[in-house]
Amino acid sequence: MFNPLGGLGDLQKLQEQAQKMQQALQQEQVMVEKNGVRVILRGDQAIISIEVDGVEEPRIADAINEAIKKTQELAARKLIEISTQNP
């Protein structure tokens, strides 16, 4: 007999793994310097700082972080749409 709730254990395990990955990525940092611009961001794509010619630009970092958050929310919605269309 088919158990429609049988995949919930796998889903919970995947969610736990995703949370662990997110926590690990938050501990990592990447720095790129190019053409007078320096960007420091975490492994989870959150921008820590942006400097242009040695001047920190927090407004730019805030705007980009907001844009990244919106694209991540969009991706999550699309994933939910796809997963509910394919039982």
2, part of any domain? no
63, part of any domain? yes
pLDDT score at 82: 85
Residue 24: burial class (beta carbons within 10 Å; 0-12, 13-18, 19+): exposed
Top-confidence residue, 4 or 9: 9
Residue 58 to residue 41: CA distance in whole angstroms: 13
pLDDT score at 31: 97
4, part of any domain? no
pLDDT score at 48: 96
Per-residue pLDDT reduced to its tens digit, 29-87: 999 999 999 999 999 889 999 999 999 999 999 999 999 999 999 998 998 888 887 65
Is the confidence at residue 7, as pLDDT, over 60?
Answer: no
pLDDT score at 21: 87
Distances (CA, A) of 64 to 9, 39, 48, 50: 36, 11, 11, 10
3, part of any domain? no
Spell out the residues 6+ positions from residue 11 whose beta carbon is closer than 8 angstroms to its own: none
- The domain tally of the chain equals 1
Cβ distance 50 to 39 under 8 Å? yes
Q: Which domain holds residue 16?
A: 9-85
18, part of any domain? yes
1, part of any domain? no
